[in-house]
Amino acid sequence: MLESAREVATHCPYCALQCGMTLRETPQGRVEVAARDFPTNRGGLCQKGWTSAELLDHPERLTTPLLKGQPATWDEAYDFIVDGVRRVQDAHGRDAVAVFGGGGLTNEKAYTLGKFARVALRTANIDYNGRFCMSSAAAAGNRSFGIDRGLPFPMADIAEADTLLLIGANVAETMPPFARYLTEQRQRGGTQIVVDPRATPTARAATLHLQPTPGTDLALALGLLHIVVAEGLTDPAYLAERTTGWDAVRKTAAGYWPARVELLTGVPVADLEATARALAAADRAIILTARGAEQHAKGVDTVTAFINLALALGLPGRPGSGYGCLTGQGNGQGGREHGQKADQLPGYRKIDDPAARAHVAAVWGVDPDSIPGPGLSAYELLDALGQLGGPKAMLVFGSNPVVSAPRAARITERLKSLDLLVVCDFFLSETAAIADVVLPVAQWAEEDGTMTNLEGRVLRRRALRKPPPGIGTDLAVMAELASRLGRTGDGRSVTGGERSGGFSAEPYAVFEELRRATAGGVADYAGVTWERVDAENGVFWPCPAADRAGTPRLFEESFPTPDGRARMIAVEHRPVAEEIDAEYPLYLTTGRVLAQYQSGAQTRRIAALPGGPFVELHPDLAERLGIDDGDPVRVLSRRGEMTAPARVVTTIRPDTLFAPFHYSGTGRANSLTGDALDPISRMPEFKVCAVRIEPVTP
Ligand code: SF4
């Protein structure tokens, strides 16, 4: 499916905005990036996108498999892996081999990875780094709406909102082309309210900035709902016709009167009232959450509380209004739909649903009973590695948990304790550096496939050129390993579905199989084809048939729940997992910066992207501790420590520090973060833990 031209229309390799770009290969073999006018980015790119092609011919690129750190042939590497997998499974059972995927993998790879784990390895233990990203919003969306699609409306609606409430999102830095929608919204006279413990560039541009104590967004949402109820601003007809559970939610909100919420959150009553009234007065109002609200041990309930607020105001399904979450990773949306989650099969099917198992088994050509049940969630899986009863081998695709996992020092030790660690990557990431086997794989501009952006729009990733000699693809690795393990599925239809044909390394063929596997599921791609995606500037799922349009807007008439109504769930505020105390008197919150992406394995290698760890603190705190801007500081938590230069800024609360999580070594912020998990989504509490800071004395 490679295009012959030396120019292709594709999308950025990084975040979920998936900006349209054109790649051109010059006669000298250099790849140039040009912005492309696509409905989402409208011709914009950020500096990460502009510089993305520099990685294609980067001198640090892996060009050969590595076996115990030494160059090896592909045959040697495959033999070593197959032998290791067999030995571990013979000694400890099938679940002793685990798989860890990533939210940057294409739909084709995410789908194949789930199938590879269940059919080729026959293991229950597969999960992915999206668990650290989207899982709380996903679980809340499923619980309330019966579906998890980040934005249930096209992004263009955001610019049209009269009132926009943005909680825990700093799009001005994380996805700058998105920020133009916010600018437009303000220029149209709209009210924009940003909730963030930091006065980020996004917050500073807003009409109103609410700066709560870290970990109190749930109380804030309940307080807003209280005001909406107390002032008679709800939409009673909508609540009666389109929701269930309102009575219990209303009763819970009664306990969150404004003065109490000011005490809990630090947000003044006047600002709470202004926010609630602005939302209620708007013809078109949109509430958006992102990682700041979601990466907590109460992330699901926090999102649920904002969904309840949106439902009380009658927003979801109303033209130009609604609730949505802003997906982070490039294929964070598609990556959570096709089976690389521990509890899930393709099409957002549940792995413990007999009908779902039968459908997928028929497509895969296996017996439904041969598909394992649910496995461990991402952090629990990583924490179990090498432990009694835990996995003894792991294969990693598109992830760098040594940097990105919470409590990272402990997770690094767990990874090192494995009998076999295999990593597929294009650079020697921190995780690849401790692997027994590293397999060099293609980059985004060398492969075809599809991604699903933050709107639920399926997009085409197009290859500009073939991978360099000696470099494989993730799909080819999975197909080869399945073949060598002798476990490709028997190709026999169990319930009359089409033959699976085993594992294909050809993304077009994989997508055709994915369409069949997702048919009838919540995330139904049956009617999406590569040809349609090309012709229609992307297709929004669900799209159950090739002759039916996609679905840009959800919930217009009903919700995909058994009774067609949204479920309102009563939730209560609760404290953070680790409160500050005399020993660790400050909150730490982590996040991203403009020039870097996720674990930094790619962007840290681009010279044009400024980088380096730092710790933000308020001038009052800095003065008290004798810290000047630029001084080296040490931040300590009960899990570990990091050192980095201080950045003394007035944009942060005096009781809070901020550190970006892109860096490794002594600058690794995840050395500090804790492992408290949300009871439903199993999301770690990345956004708040207790720390102290001290100057580093020579
Ligand atoms: S990183 Fe995100 S915002 Fe930046 S160019 Fe890429 S897709 Fe667009």
Write out pLDDT tens, residues 503-546: 999 999 999 999 999 999 999 999 999 999 999 999 999 999 99
Confidence of residue 697 (pLDDT cuts 50, 70, 90): confident
Q: Is 330 in the pocket of ligand 1 (CB under 6 A)?
A: no
Cβ of 606 closer than 6 Å to ligand 1, yes or no, is no
CA of 23 from ligand 1 middle (Å) equals: 15
459 lines ligand 1 (CB under 6 A): no
Does the pLDDT value for residue 495 go beyond 50? no
Per-residue confidence at 501, pLDDT binned at 50, 70, 90? low
Task: Kindly state if the Cβ of 332 falls inside 6 Å of ligand 1.
Answer: no
The pLDDT score that the predictor gives to residue 488 is 77
> Looking at ligand 1, which atom is closest to the CA of residue 17?
7
Checking if the pLDDT of 491 tops 90, the result is no
Burial class (CB in 10 A: 0-12, 13-18, 19+), 5: exposed
Query: Rounded to 5 degrees, what are φ and ψ at 591?
Result: -175, -160
According to DSSP, the residues that pair with 441 across neighbouring strands are 472
As a whole number, mean pLDDT of residues 187-196 equals: 98
The string of DSSP codes covering 253-285 is: HTT--HHHHHHHH---HHHHHHHHHHHHH-SSE
Beta bridge partners of 349: 345
3-state SS, residue 648: strand
Mean pLDDT on 617-626: 98
Q: How far is the CA of 432 from the centre of ligand 1 (A)?
A: 25
Nearest to 677 by CA among 149, 135, 264: 135
Q: Are 212 and 195 spatial neighbours (Cβ–Cβ below 8 Å)? A: yes
Interhelix angle for 217-230 vs 246-253, to 10°?
A: 100
> Does the CB atom of residue 453 touch ligand 1 within 6 A?
no
Handedness of CA 335, 340, 344, 349 (dihedral sign): positive
CA of 602 to the centre of ligand 1 (A): 13
CB 627 within 8 A of CB 615: no
Q: Assign residue 189 a region (left: φ > 0; alpha: ψ between -120 and 50; beta: otherwise).
A: left
**Does position 432 have pLDDT exceeding 90, yes or no?**
yes
Tens digits of residue pLDDT in 62-89: 999 999 999 999 999 999 999 999 999 9
pTM of the shown model: 0.96
Give 176 Cα–ligand 1 centroid separation in angstroms: 7
pLDDT at 611: 87
Collapsing DSSP to helix, strand or coil, 247 comes out as helix
- For ligand 1, the distance from its centroid to the CA atom of residue 48, given in whole angstroms, is 6
Task: Count Cβ neighbours within 10 Å for each residue of 16-32 and write b for 16 or more, e otherwise.
Answer: bbbbbbbbebeeeeebe
C-alpha to C-alpha distance for 622 and 339, rounded to whole angstroms: 47
Mean pLDDT of the chain, nearest integer? 95
Mutate to test the pocket of ligand 1, among 18, 33, 46 (most ligand atoms within 8 A of CB): 46
Q: Are 351 and 369 in contact (CB under 8 A)?
A: no
Rounded-to-integer distance, Cα 21 and Cα 9, Å: 6
Q: How far is the CA of 101 from the centre of ligand 1 (A)?
A: 21
pLDDT at 220 over 50: yes
Beta strands in 441-538 (DSSP E): 449-452, 457-461
What percent of the chain is modeled with pLDDT above 70?
97
Residue type, 609: L
Question: How many degrees, rounded to 5, is the angle at CA 242 between CA 240 and CA 247?
Answer: 45
| Mean pLDDT, range 460-476, rounded to an integer | 96
